[in-house]
Amino acid sequence: MEYDMPLYRPPSEAYSLIIQVTLGCSHNKCTFCSMYKSKKFKIKPLEVIKNEIDIFRRHYKNVDRIFLADGDALIIPMEKLRDIILYIKEVFPECERITLYGSPKSIDKKTDDELKELKELGVKMIYLGLESGNDEVLEDIKKGFNSEQLIKVGRKVKKNGIKLSATVIAGLGGTKKTHQHGVDTGKMLGAISPDYVGVLSLMVEPNTELYDLLQSGEFKVLEDKAVLQEIKEMIKNIDTNEKVVFRSNHASNYVNLKGILPEDKQRLIDEIDYYLSNLKLKREEYRRL
């Protein structure tokens, strides 16, 4: 079975079977992202998907976790998505967990009843890239949604019983908007209170609009110390009474932070302060991926 490359999945899906039900990303306009620039978005035909599921069944004896790729599999119309999941359950009755990427647009388009049905069908978690809680930054990166709309779709997932894993990107506002980006992103995370929050640190990639802005001097990346200070601002501004698992263990980050909010908030801030005073202990630049 050959995938249509490139293929991406969240780090937490390392042991999941990946079934490619879409190709590319339905939005594919974010200025910082090069993941799916080589692909034109497409929802694969149902019969093709079923055939690939059959092939996987012949190769794998036991599959308890399945991730639906590529970017934004949630955009698939409910009737077809239902058929895909029902066939997965028929072919892999032992599967206990189905997860997928969702965009703000695809979450917004799904009704509450449809999200509830997806939960009943076995969808355990939706991965959502929030990126920033600052409206200027969101406009700059062409996210297509403002912070109020992102809060609404994030809460919508949780309200309907599906776990939400959200990512934000430190440094995305550059040197000009670092403070606003840090503060507003923290406030947004508090308002949504995702079950899981993953912080990535910006790495500007070639073949993106942001790379062109960097080359022209219009955008300036943060130095390591400023990135840590920005993440500290995020954490300081996450005001929640709900359990939020917080991580910055992605390879793009300078330090690996792990905690559960709200109880670990001060410890996480103290850890960042320690690294700010001992920058030599951070991840070296060449080791960031």
Q: Residue 163: which H helix or E strand, with range?
A: strand 163-170
Residue at 7 is within a domain: no
pLDDT at 4: 87
Residue at 5 is within a domain: no
pLDDT means per 10 residues, the chain with 289 residues, are 87 95 94 91 97 97 96 96 99 98 98 99 98 99 98 99 98 98 99 98 95 97 96 98 94 91 98 92 68
Residue at 6 is within a domain: no
pLDDT at 242: 98
pLDDT at 18: 98
pLDDT at 250: 84
pLDDT at 286: 56
pLDDT at 284: 73
How far, rounded to the nearest angstrom, does the alpha carbon of residue 30 sit from its chain's CA centroid? 13
- Residues 137/112, Cβ–Cβ less than 8 Å: no
Residue at 71 is within a domain: yes
Domain containing 120: what range? 14-283
pLDDT at 287: 66
Q: Residue 211: which H helix or E strand, with range?
A: helix 209-216
Residue at 271 is within a domain: yes
Which CATH number does the domain housing residue 42 bear?
3.20.20.70
What is the number of structural domains in the chain?
Answer: 1
Specify the amino acid at residue 76: I
User: Dihedral sign, CA of 116, 118, 119, 125?
Assistant: negative
